[in-house]
C-alpha cells in the first residue's frame, strides 16, 4: 500500500547531497559558516537546517535574500552573517497587532498549528527581532525589516518584482498564507534563484505540508531529509542536483 509520503511529488534528498555539491563547488576551501547556539524557544531552526540554508545560499551565491517571517531574526542573522558583505536580507513580519487578535489556547501551542502561530506572532509583537537587535552594526546594516501582513504585500509597489536570488517562506503557516507567500515568492525571484520553505512535514503545521504536496505536482521541489526544509531551484540552478538524481 502506498503511504502519503510515497504519493507526494516532492522528492526527498539527503542533506549530504547539498554538502557534496559544496565540496565540488569549493574544492580548495574548508567551507564554514557562522551560527549562534540555537534558541531553546520554539520556532527556531535546527543546526542541520541552518547548514542546509547556508549551503543553498552559497551554492547560488545569493546576494539579495527575502524572508517571510522574521520572528526573533535568528535566520535573518544566519543569512546576513553567511553571505558576502554586499548582500542584503529583507525580512518581513506582522505589524503590531492588538492582543485580542492574538489570543490562543496556551495549552495547545505545541500541538496546534494555529495556536502555535498565534504564540509566535504574540512573541514577535512583544519582543521584536532580538537577534537582529543584538547583532553588530556591520551585520545589521545588511538587514532591512519590513512590518506588514504578507497577505497585503504589494510586490510591485514595494519594488520587489524579480529582485531576489533567495526567498525563504517561513511566515504564517495557514494554507492561505503559505499559498499567497509562495505566489509572491515566485514574482519576487530573479530568473536564477531558489525558493525555500520551512515546516514541510512539521507535525504541528500540517497545512504547509498539505499545500506543498499539492503545489509540487508538475514541479521539481525537494525535501531535505531529517529537516523541515523544502526547496525549488530556478533558471540555471535547476540542473544543480541532476548528477545526484
Ligand atoms: C516560524 S516564525 C519565523 C521564524 C524565522 N523565519 C526563523 O527562522 O527564525 C513565523 C513568523 O511569521 C510571522 N507571521 C505570521 N503570519 C504572518 C503574516 N501574515 N505576515 C507576515 N508575517 C507573519 C509571525 O509573526 C512569526 O514571527
User: Given ligand 1 and candidates 37, 67, 90, 94, which is best to mutate, with the most ligand atoms within 8 Å of its CB?
Assistant: 94
36 is a domain residue: no
Per-residue pLDDT tens digits for 102-126: 555 666 777 777 888 888 888 888 8
34 is a domain residue: no
118 is a domain residue: yes
CA atoms within 13 A on the CB side of 151: 9
Q: Does the pLDDT of residue 35 top 70, yes or no? A: yes
Task: Classify residue 168 by its DSSP letter.
Answer: E
Q: Which three cell numbers stand for residue 105?
A: 489556547
111 is a domain residue: yes
160 is a domain residue: yes
- Going from the Cα of 2 to the center of ligand 1, the distance in angstroms, rounded, reads 34
Residue 218: what pLDDT? 96
35 is a domain residue: no
Structural domains counted in the chain: 1
Q: Is the CB of 74 under 6 A from ligand 1?
A: yes
Task: Determine contact, residues 9/218, Cβ cutoff 8 Å.
Answer: yes
3-state helix, strand, coil in the chain (%, to 5): 40, 20, 40
Helix (H) or strand (E) holding 45, with range, is none
- Average model confidence (pLDDT) for the chain? 91
Residue 209: what pLDDT? 97
User: CATH number for the domain including 231?
Assistant: 3.40.50.150
199 is a domain residue: yes
Query: Which residues 6+ apart lie within 8 Å of 29 measured at CB?
Result: none
User: Given ligand 1 and candidates 54, 67, 172, which is best to mutate, with the most ligand atoms within 8 Å of its CB?
Assistant: 172
Residue 99: what pLDDT? 52
Q: Supply the range of the domain harboring residue 213.
A: 4-27+41-244
Amino acid at each position: 500500500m502506498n503511504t502519503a509520503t510515497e504519493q507526494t511529488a516532492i522528492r526527498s534528498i539527503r542533506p549530504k547531497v547539498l554538502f557534496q555539491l559544496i565540496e565540488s563547488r569549493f574544492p580548495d576551501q574548508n567551507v564554514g559558516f557562522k551560527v549562534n547556539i540555537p534558541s531553546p524557544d520554539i520556532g527556531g531552526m535546527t543546526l542541520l537546517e541552518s547548514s542546509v540554508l547556508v549551503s543553498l545560499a552559497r551554492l547560488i551565491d545569493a546576494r539579495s535574500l527575502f524572508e517571510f517571517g522574521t520572528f526573533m531574526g535568528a535566520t535573518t542573522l544566519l543569512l546576513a552573517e553567511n553571505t558576502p558583505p554586499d548582500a542584503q536580507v529583507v525580512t518581513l513580519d506582522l505589524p503590531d497587532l492588538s492582543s485580542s487578535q492574538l489570543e490562543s489556547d496556551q495549552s495547545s501551542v505545541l500541538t496546534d498549528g494555529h495556536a502555535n502561530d498565534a504564540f509566535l506572532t504574540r512573541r514577535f509583537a512583544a519582543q521584536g527581532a532580538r537577534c537582529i537587535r543584538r547583532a553588530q552594526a556591520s551585520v545589521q546594516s545588511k538587514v532591512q525589516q519590513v512590518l506588514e501582513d504578507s497577505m497585503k504585500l504589494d510586490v510591485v509597489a514595494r519594488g520587489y518584482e524579480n529582485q531576489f536570488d533567495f526567498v525563504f517562506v517561513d511566515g504564517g503557516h495557514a494554507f492561505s498564507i503559505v499559498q499567497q507567500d509562495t505566489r509572491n515568492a515566485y514574482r519576487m525571484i530573479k530568473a536564477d534563484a531558489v525558493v525555500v520553505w520551512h515546516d514541510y512535514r512539521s507535525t504541528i503545521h500540517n497545512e504547509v505540508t498539505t499545500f506543498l504536496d499539492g503545489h509540487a505536482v508538475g514541479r521539481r521541489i525537494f525535501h531535505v531529509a531529517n529537516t523541515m526544509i523544502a526547496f525549488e531551484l530556478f533558471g540555471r540552478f535547476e540542473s544543480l542536483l541532476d548528477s545526484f538524481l
